[in-house]
Amino acid sequence: MELMSLAVLGILIVISPGADFVLVLKNSLNSGRKAGIATAIGISLAICVHIAYSLLGISYLISQNQWLFNLVRYAGAAYLIYLGLKGIFAKRDTQEILVSHKQHSPSWRYFSQGFLCNALNPKTMLFFLSIFSQVMSPDADNNWPAIVYGGYMIVLHGIWFSLVAILFTSPKLQAYLQRAKHRINQVCGAGLLLFGAMLGLKN
């Protein structure tokens, strides 16, 4: 799969509402913009963990067992299709966002919350394993696309969740995004389904 397609897939994954989004939203609304940005930085740096085990693990699979590597690749494609179908057929969420009184805590606490939320998320683990199985090369000296893509995902997570922390200080935007959440889920789901099918059909 071309890096441009993977770049678009990365955007869909990052902007899809999930555990990281909910945590940044909660900390931003309850504890202010700085708390939200600290959470975003923690999430962004946690991507380094996923990159490390993906590069090491998939490199080993490629060098030791080709059929097992193909199994991981097809499992990754199936997982993306599952996420896509889940997003398309997701029920409309009518839960309202409640803003509580500001709670002041050290920034490192919000940073650690974001880091652990992403690093320990099994869905994020599966995503990175599935994607890196597509960009890794059997030639160990030619894995710069995987490294570049990993850096891209780190920056993308940091920018997106920092923007969420900043923009959700506006009550009007909060109301708009809450109304559009269901449609965003469906659009992202359709994109994930398409990319999953492309991965599964790749020779």
Q: Look at residue 93 in the predicted model and tell me its pLDDT.
A: 54
Using CA atoms, how far residue 32 sits from 29, 38, 95, 106, in Å, is 6, 10, 21, 12
Domain regions of the chain by residue span: 3-201
- Which tens digit of pLDDT belongs to each residue from 14-39? 887 777 887 887 888 778 789 999 99
- The answer to whether the predicted template modeling score (pTM) of the entire model surpasses 0.75 is no
Residues 6+ apart with CB under 8 A from 201: none
DSSP 8-class letter at 139: S
Q: Kind and range of the H or E element at 13?
A: helix 3-15
- Which tens digit of pLDDT belongs to each residue from 72-122? 667 767 876 887 787 788 666 544 444 444 456 688 899 999 998 888 776
